[in-house]
Structure 1
């Protein structure tokens, strides 16, 4: 019989285990201590288990088998619990070498075999030895790296330039600090240069600007939460920048578009534009229904300008005004939104991009807004190169009824220093009138090199009508009438051939707008159009291909575009009326097969009967065309005319007429652009025709789906077919117009 002498209630658990001679001791016990088995020995030598410290093998056990009395031993793994490991870890920190009594007491408390506890401590000690060895190796490597780093610093501190012998290191500065120091030096030099210019213009000493904040202290170019600031003070600082002794190009504007400087220049450009808008003769001279700038008088009023005009560069400056049916605030919103602006003038702008918003406006929306933009300006013909320019647009409200929007080029905003187009202060002054009307005074003032213009268009471009103020204002007036008619509600019910359903009318006009936009952007010499010249007979035809994939607005496949331009000795209005009329369409439209064309319905877009959207149906015996409707939009103003059309299947047009979404209707627009002038020619009386004497420039453009597979290659036969189609169409138009007695 064994007698136990417990003392566990006198000390804490760890203390009663660790104190030698104390604990729960059995006296006279006949139980033998457990022997270490071979499996347990293997466990003790297992390095993986030593590292883990939490997995051991328990003592083997025996089991009977039915066919023999032999007993076999099986190994069973035992994973220590989290609490068991934590207890042994805590004990190990105080006593890494426990004796037998401590191991037995610890095993009893943890419910483990004493040999398991013994092996765990052995593994733990081995693991600690490995860690100490690794730590010593890492410590030695760290000391070596420190020594190398110190030697490198000493070498850099004592290094000198082989050319000049000066030190190459800046003390203990980091690389970033060195770069900031260099940048600060450069900015300080720029500030000194600008201060000298400002001092000359505004009369203030240059030293007063030496303490201007650094570039990283200025407002971020995309910060919209601050106003324009004190424009009076800023204008005084800059002075008459467009009338100073120094040219504008000497001002350094970085690629990040220094906001404060650009805003100051915008204020001065606005003053110049306002002065040019209110001054009359002798600054402006009447010519062909608009006004051109008297350069001598301009130099008198603005003697210092933005620098002299380079040799071989032409100056174009014109002014025109009109009253348009649109609220002035809505006009400002359109002009300051690059997408709306490009859509409004789709016949003039082929591409437009907003690069950066420098200021969104101050106290009132868009008042003081400033942004950096670029645009491509075009004539609807592949023979006239586009005029691309990167410029700043600045918007300011002069009074309760007046806004000023000014554009000006800054050469430093371009990736290269050479530019073919530079905008002096150009833009418009908008004045609010009663009943939602606005008066607009438009000024276009540019310097350019247009030596690449085709001979066919040189006189038209030189006249100032191609890119002048009159064309901008005429296009704006026509588009304002179009937008007003889209939302008109006073249409008489029961009118024959007129859309009376408001939803259907709006949806149809949206589809026609997309058709017109697609035609205008695809017919010019934009950088997005890779035209290839092709001579078909005596006609100079330009062709290009486009791949359409997953575009709901275009049929999928390979599209061939072809265009040609020519001069006709007939008034532009005569040619325009002939092309838009459904009665004369079968005389030139080869696809109608000579069948009569009937107008099913139309939408009037202003006071001119030529401005309308029509739905036409070709009455032909060809069954494949019986379910096809032609959507056509014709528009005209004093500077040009368009007739654009596209075939649409009957099911799609019915959805649109019910007010459905027009964006999913696939169309390929073709059509004509008619400009009211041509080159100088001898008439029957022997006199030279002048610009505007009655000729017109006609551009014919077709888009045809040649293959429904986008990856297919274009065949030579497809190009020949489309080119021949253009040639035949042009010949039919010439013959039909001539036979009309014009």
Structure 2
């Protein structure tokens, strides 16, 4: 039985005559012997098989469709009973539809491609056709239209495919003829090694990847930025409730300092949904930084001192309408710009800024803690061009009276076509809105231009919005002037540290160093400088009002309050084991900062304030100069006690000064350990508990002054800090006697300094 023919079993007796030919069918059969399956999408004729080729289908035309002239269409010839069985049956005759029939059905097809039974019967009566003929014509017409549509789609896809092939070949041609990234001209492959040619092609590809990141970010430009909620007032310091049970491991005197694993509040890295927004902010911030660093009036307006500029907030909003959103209610704007030439090449500067450990070390007086949460891009091979890092950092003034500023931001580094490097930060706090946020970092950072002889020109822009309600009154003029956290302090610190690093890299002992009999080798010199660097970092990290510190007020009122905190030192080779008590206080002196600095760093006047020297004679055994200022040096001091039975004590001291801040930091050192360091040994295992002084101007023009200007023309803000080992057993409890001793020590030191300085000033 041919494929596609179905005979219902229940109609078999009525359909098959005595000679085996089909005679008729019941109404429930659904299909007639000799008729095709009536599903759309197939040609409905036994003479048109299912696998009709495309060429055969193309030959099927509406006006060529032939209706069978069988029994259902007026078949001519004898019936099955009258036909001679020995006679060869005649081939069935077909006839074409008339032109009129085709036109009528074409017109009807345009209006209704799927006529129902009633419509087919009406149409067959009008055209003189059988309903099945009409049905088959419409089915075949639909199949024909579908075939034509598919043929058109194939043609269109073939054209698009050829276009893509051509584009692909063109891109391959462009890549094979890559231009020189330096001059823009064609690369001469014959004049360079294969490795060099490969690296240049890789460089071109990576530059394109950077442009692609910028293009992705452009898709998000214009999205509304989440506004910050109103901030709650800052937390006030806790009052002290002294009690024996409160010391040691119990709550009370400030608890313990956080460990390294607790750095900065637990803020996770960005999510995948955050990353496109971060890229957008970084690209926009880079563009803003470049313009902020290069534009003049009316964006930056000169002020009366003639050396500085102030930002016009109205002009800024007009030029940069988008960004991290409007300034939150209650916040103040701090914006400053400063330029200097420093003694370091541009490549090393970029590396310092993009390495969080080097960055926090060089700027230890400003950055109390920092960490990289996630690296989104490492940049191109061999440098930081295109590097993206999500970071968290805490910025400080060396005093417990000025709250630190914590910021969650992205850092983006880019090498511009003119050879300038730029590193920009911008806050991401809008991704983690919190009422605790007190600082927003608008695009801030620096431009670095290469200069001859290994120097670099650095233009620094610092732009933040801050809730400064927690700043003590005596520090407000300094903070409001921009000298506390502004660009001038960043540039001054960088300049001083570049000089220090240049000194540390010296291969021989310079002539201005003293104590060649003590420091006999360049290795010993480097070890001593490295030990002093760790001492400074430890001092700065322990004196600020960091979120990792819990200070407690011990006595007094006003600015002379003494803040104390305790911490346990366990398994730290750089600190002696036991309980360490840190105490600090800040106060104002009516003396310029440079005079206070000279008084405190001079070993000849040390006995006037240093109670621990016990009246002994202080002698400088070694002196390493690490800057053009005479006060920038590292010294090794020996205290010759008046009591001959008491062993001599060594003190390691570093003093450093710049126009925005000065430090005198020192620590007692073990004689045996110091001899190892002077011989070039590892200084990391020398236990240190640094104490010292941080000296800041009280404002640009004196106590209560305003505006950015030259520091040191008015009074001074002095912070005195001590770290003392009160018990060598880490599990011991702190006694009230130890707290009282430290409190008396710092109070006595402050009184001596005030008396000495006041006497000089008189």
TM-score where L is the length of structure 1:
0.65
Match of 2:630 in 1: 609
Matched, 1:480 2:498: yes
Tell me which of 666, 676, 680 is aligned to 1:645. 666
Aligned partner (choices 616, 620, 631) of residue 595 of structure 1: 616
Residue 283 of structure 1: CA displacement? 1.7
Name the SS for the 1:562 alignment partner. strand
**Aligned residues of 2:216 and 2:276 also touching (Cα < 8 A):** no
Determine the structure 1 residue equivalent to 2:281.
Answer: 265
Q: Does 1:341 align with 2:359?
A: yes
Once the two structures are overlaid, the 10-residue window that deviates more, 395-404 or 256-265, is 256-265
SS of corresponding position for 2:612: helix
Partner of 1:507: 527
Q: Which residue of 2 aligns with 1:706?
A: 726
Cα deviation, residue 501, structure 1: 2.0
Per the alignment, residue 296 of structure 2 pairs with 280
Q: Deviations over 1:610-653 (max 9, x none)?
A: 10000111121235753321000000001000000001121111
Take 2:339 and 2:710, find their aligned partners in 1: how far apart are those partners? 24
Structure 1 residues 521, 682: closer, same or farther in 2, change over 3 A?
A: closer
The 5 Å alignment of 1:104-503 reads: 227=206, 229-232=208-211, 235=214, 238-239=217-218, 244=222, 246-247=224-225, 255-256=271-272, 258-287=274-303, 289-399=307-417, 401-414=419-432, 416=434, 419-489=437-507, 491-492=509-510, 496-497=514-515, 499=519, 501-503=521-523
Change beyond 3 A, Cα 1:241–1:474: farther
Equivalent residue number for residue 527 of structure 1 = 547
Structure 1 residues 392-413: Cα deviation after superposition (integer angstroms, max 9, x where no partner): 0011111363111010112244
Kept in 1: contact 2:426–2:441 (CA 8 A):
yes
What's the offset of the Cα at 1:609?
0.6
Q: How many angstroms apart in 2 are the aligned matches of 1:692 and 1:614?
A: 25
Query: How far 1:514 sits from its partner (Å)?
Result: 0.5
Q: CA RMSD in A?
A: 2.8
Deviation by residue 1:372-415 (Cα, 9 ceiling, x = unmatched): 00001010001111100100001111136311101011224437
- Could you tell me how far apart the structure 2 residues matched to 1:477 and 1:617 are? 31
Deviations 1:547-597 (A, max 9, x none): 011111101111110000000000000000000000100000011122221
Say if 1:241 and 1:301 are closer, same or farther in 2 by CA, change over 3 A.
Answer: farther
Q: Which residue of 2 aligns with 1:728?
A: 748
CA contact (8 A) 2:225 2:430 kept: no
Cα distance in 2 between the residues matched to 1:318 and 1:493:
39
The 1-side partners of 2:513 and 2:686 are apart by 27
Secondary structure (helix, strand or coil) at the match of 2:630 reads: coil
Alpha-carbon contact 1:643-1:671 (below 8 Å) kept: yes
Task: Tell me if the contact between 1:241 and 1:248 (Cα under 8 Å) persists in the aligned partners.
Answer: no
User: C-alpha deviations, 1:156-187, integer Å up to 9, x for none?
Assistant: xxxxxxxxxxxxxxxxxxxxxxxxxxxxxxxx
**Preserved contact between residue 509 and residue 521 of structure 2 (Cα < 8 Å):** no
Distance 1:290 1:625 in 2: 54
* Alpha-carbon separation, structure 1, partners of 2:697 and 2:740: 30
Contact 1:404–1:429 (Cα < 8 Å) also in 2 = yes
Q: Deviations over 1:235-272 (max 9, x none)?
A: 45655978x5844769xx96346434422331221111
Shift of 1:692: 5.8
Structure 1 residues 228 and 547: alpha-carbon distance in aligned structure 2, compared to 1, 3 A threshold: farther
Q: Would the alpha carbon gap of residues 260 and 299 (structure 1) be closer, same or farther in structure 2, given more than 3 Å must change?
A: closer
Map of 1:24 onto structure 2:
none
The Cα shift of 1:696 comes to 0.5
Shift in Å at residue 497 of structure 1?
Answer: 3.0
User: Contact 2:659 / 2:712 at 8 angstroms: preserved in 1?
Assistant: no
Q: How many Å separate the matches in 2 of 1:335 and 1:398? A: 17
- Where structure 1 has 5 or more consecutive residues not aligned to the other structure, the ranges are 1-225, 684-688
Q: 1:537 to 1:622 in 2, by over 3 A?
A: farther
Instruction: Indicate how the Cα distance of structure 1 residues 692 and 510 shifts in structure 2: closer, same or farther if over 3 A, else same.
Output: closer
**Is the partner of 2:416 in helix, strand or coil?**
strand
Structure 1 position 621 matched with structure 2 position 642: yes
User: Separation in 1 of the partners of 2:458 and 2:512?
Assistant: 37
Q: Is the 8 A contact 1:493 1:500 kept in 2?
A: no
CA 732–491 in structure 1, closer or farther in 2 if over 3 Å, else same? same
SS of the residue aligned with 2:744? helix
1:261 and 1:729 map into 2 onto residues whose CA distance is 53
Q: Deviations over 1:103-159 (max 9, x none)?
A: xxxxxxxxxxxxxxxxxxxxxxxxxxxxxxxxxxxxxxxxxxxxxxxxxxxxxxxxx
CA contact (8 A) 2:504 2:529 kept: yes
Q: Which region of structure 1 is more displaced relative to structure 2, 726-735 or 229-238?
A: 229-238
TM-superposed deviation, 1:704: 0.6
Q: Distance in 1 between matches of 2:417 and 2:469?
A: 42
Say yes or no: does 1:516 pair with 2:530.
no
Match of 1:636 in 2: 657
CA–CA distance in structure 1, aligned partners of residues 646 and 474 of structure 2: 38
Q: Considering Cα pairs closer than 8 Å and 6+ residues apart, tell me whether 1 or 2 has the greater RCO.
A: 2
List 4+ stretches of structure 1 deviating above 6 A: 679-683
SS at match of 2:340: strand
Matched residue pairs, number? 511
Change (3 A) 1:329 1:734: same
Do 2:481 and 2:699's aligned partners in 1 also have CA atoms closer than 8 Å? no
Check conservation: 1:316, 1:447, Cα contact below 8 A. Answer: yes
Determine if the alignment matches structure 1 residue 561 to structure 2 residue 576: no
Mark the CA change 1:415 to 1:485 in structure 2 (over 3 Å): closer, same or farther: same
Deviation at 1:281, TM superposition (A): 2.5
Q: Does the 8 Å contact 1:559/1:705 carry over to 2?
A: yes
Change (3 A) 1:532 1:270: same
Structure 1 residues 481 and 248, CA gap change in structure 2 (3 angstroms):
farther
Deviation for aligned residue 1:740:
1.6
What corresponds to 1:88 in structure 2?
A: none
User: Which consecutive residues of structure 2, in runs of 5 or more, have no partner in the other structure?
Assistant: 1-204, 229-268
What's 1:670 paired with?
Answer: 691
Deviation string, structure 1 residues 6-37 (Cα, Å, up to 9, x no partner): xxxxxxxxxxxxxxxxxxxxxxxxxxxxxxxx
Query: What is the distance in 2 between the residues matched to 1:442 and 1:599?
Result: 38
Q: Distance in 2 between matches of 1:509 and 1:241?
A: 49
Q: How far apart are 1:666 and its partner, in Å?
A: 0.5
